[in-house]
């Protein structure tokens, strides 16, 4: 399976959502509330939820009073998210490497490690240039990414998860550039194998990307409570950047 195929196929399956069904929804909601309070975003401006999945963050933002556009490459995820559409909440199938036509937003959120899927830094630059073009002057970009240093140090090489009568066998590794998760399982008399590959981007990598793409990093946090970031101990790398 090629790199391009892994995210376009895996994210579009029901198995992806089965494996990650234990996400803490209340934690996600509190995070969004803290984040928007910190940013003091005006309610009359658009927020784009980039790589929104089934729209859980988009829905929360909309309930807080924001005008929201959720976009994702997965047609199945967008189909499900679209059930929640209203006058101030819309969804669109879209590749994050391309600008969204006719969209200018005050903020673009890229949450839950929805970045670094690619092989090259040039592809990451494409994403950031697209985001830059879709932001208002001085618009805000928020990227919630894994803390690569801690993730690599704490890597669990092998794990088995039993969910919905499916036994997911998971193997994790780091090849020097990417954190790799191999997922094998059997369902309905068929064997499946998927691979997740995420670039092990560190804060200094993002700072270089921001500089090349017209962004200024203005704040970092290390968890959903918006605590101070520490490369050795923080679970997350949450970055707030402003369009230059």
- If you ran DSSP here, which 8-state letter would residue 227 be given? P
Q: What is the pLDDT of residues 57-81, one digit of tens each?
A: 999 999 999 999 999 999 999 999 9
Q: Which of these, 97, 101, 153, lies nearest to 127 by C-alpha position?
A: 97
pLDDT of residue 8: 61
Return mean pLDDT, the chain: 93
Return the residue matching tokens 């369902």.
187
pLDDT of residue 17: 83
Q: What is the pLDDT of residues 96-109, one digit of tens each?
A: 999 999 999 999 99
CA distance 112 to 125: 19
Q: Which of these, 165, 130, 156, lies nearest to 51 by C-alpha position?
A: 130
The mean per-residue pLDDT over the stretch 224-240 comes to 97
pTM: 0.92
Give the phi and the psi of residue 84 in degrees, each rounded to 5.
-100, 5
Beta bridge pairs of residue 195? 182
The mean per-residue pLDDT over the stretch 36-51 comes to 95
pLDDT of residue 20: 84
Cα separations in angstroms, 6 against 81, 106, 118, 185, 201: 21, 31, 10, 16, 19
Q: What is the pLDDT of residues 146-193, one digit of tens each?
A: 999 999 999 999 999 999 999 999 999 999 999 999 999 999 999 999
Q: Where does residue 87 fall: left (phi above 0), alpha (psi -120 to 50 degrees), or beta otherwise? A: alpha
| Domains defined along the chain, listed by start | 31-147+202-243 (3.40.50.150)
Q: Which of these, 4, 8, 9, 54, lies nearest to 193 by C-alpha position?
A: 9
Return the residue matching tokens 């928020």.
142
Cα separations in angstroms, 39 against 28, 67, 195, 214: 16, 15, 35, 20
């Amino acid at each position: 399976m090629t790199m391009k195929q892994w995210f376009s196929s895996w994210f579009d399956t029901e198995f992806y959502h089965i494996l990650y069904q234990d996400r803490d929804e209340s934690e996600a909601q509190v995070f969004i509330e803290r984040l928007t309070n910190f940013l003091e975003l005006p309610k009359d401006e658009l927020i784009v939820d980039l790589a929104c999945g089934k729209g859980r963050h988009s829905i929360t933002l909309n309930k807080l009073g924001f005008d929201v556009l959720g976009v994702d490459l997965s047609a199945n995820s967008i189909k499900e998210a679209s059930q929640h559409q209203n006058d101030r909440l819309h969804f669109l199938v879209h590749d994050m490497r391309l600008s969204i036509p006719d969209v200018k937003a005050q903020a673009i959120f890229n949450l839950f490690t929805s970045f670094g899927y690619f092989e090259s830094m040039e592809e990451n630059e494409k994403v950031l240039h697209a985001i830059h073009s879709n932001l208002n002057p001085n618009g805000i970009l928020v990227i919630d990414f894994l803390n690569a240093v801690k993730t690599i140090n704490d890597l669990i090489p092998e794990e088995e998860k039993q969910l919905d009568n499916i036994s997911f066998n998971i193997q994790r590794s780091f090849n020097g550039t990417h954190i790799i998760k191999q997922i094998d399982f059997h369902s309905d008399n068929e064997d499946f194998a998927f691979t997740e590959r995420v670039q092990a981007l560190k804060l200094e990598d993002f700072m270089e990307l921001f500089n090349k793409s017209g962004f200024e990093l203005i704040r970092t946090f290390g968890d959903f409570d918006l605590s101070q970031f520490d490369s050795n101990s923080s679970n997350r790398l949450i970055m707030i950047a402003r369009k230059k």
